[in-house]
Amino acid sequence: MPIDGKFQLVELPYAPNALEPIISAETLSFHHGKHLQTYVNNLNGLLPDSPYNGQSLEEIVKKSEGGVFNNAGQILNHNLYFTQFASPQENNIPTGKLASAITAQFGSFEAFKEEFEKKGATLFGSGWVWLAADQEGKLHITQETNAGNPITKGLTPLLTFDVWEHAYYLDYQNRRPAHLSELWKIVNWEVVSSRYE
Ligand code: MN
């Protein structure tokens, strides 16, 4: 929710270099401190003249369009993105109810990762690949262009990889698939699972 009518830049739950070498401190500094801050500033500038003043980010994303949607969507997407990571770990795998659902639907965690990476790699231009759940708990992998979020399709967003070039260009240049396959090491599955519970 906004504070005094203003949305704030989400705080990172880890140190600026905590995600290295998967995401460098430099990328994080631009991505969080510049790109996301700009979306926050833009939305705060647009809201007073819109019908959405005082509403939650989720409500705004579900109902708005144009500039308000683009900036609100990018804030919601990045808030979910930045808070779903932790320091790199080998053999970093989901547990509990979400792990069971992934295995039941995709056959294995490996098969799920392959499908998720493929959807991220083949998304044309800028956007986001998502793992989302419907009301029955069934999982969906969706491709959303630009500021899209599966919340607009009635789904609950669980996990997302940002495929805008600003998310990886300093570290991986044009090698988007290499970036996507590395991100699994820093997914905080406790956070992602809690979104599914
Ligand atoms: Mn981004």
- Domain 96-196 belongs to what topology? minor pseudopilin epsh fold (3.55.40)
Q: 0.95 exceeded by the pTM?
A: yes
- Residue 164 CA, ligand 1 centroid: distance in Å: 6
- Residue 167 CA, ligand 1 centroid: distance in Å: 5
Instruction: Report percent pLDDT > 90 for the chain.
Output: 96
- Residue 146 CA, ligand 1 centroid: distance in Å: 10
- Residue 25 CA, ligand 1 centroid: distance in Å: 15
The answer to whether residue 116 scores a pLDDT higher than 90 is yes
Taking a C-beta distance cutoff of 8 angstroms, is the pair 155, 133 a contact? yes
Task: Return the number of other C-beta atoms located less than 10 Å from residue 153's C-beta.
Answer: 13
Note the CATH architecture for domain 25-82. Orthogonal Bundle (1.10)
CATH fold match for the domains 25-82 and 96-196: no
pLDDT tens digits for range 87-101:
999 899 998 999 999
- Residue 96 CA, ligand 1 centroid: distance in Å: 29
Question: What are the structural domain ranges in the chain?
Answer: 25-82, 96-196
Query: Scanning the structure block, which residue is given the tokens 């990571």?
Result: 85
pLDDT tens digits for range 44-102:
999 999 999 999 999 999 999 999 999 999 999 999 999 999 999 989 999 899 999 99
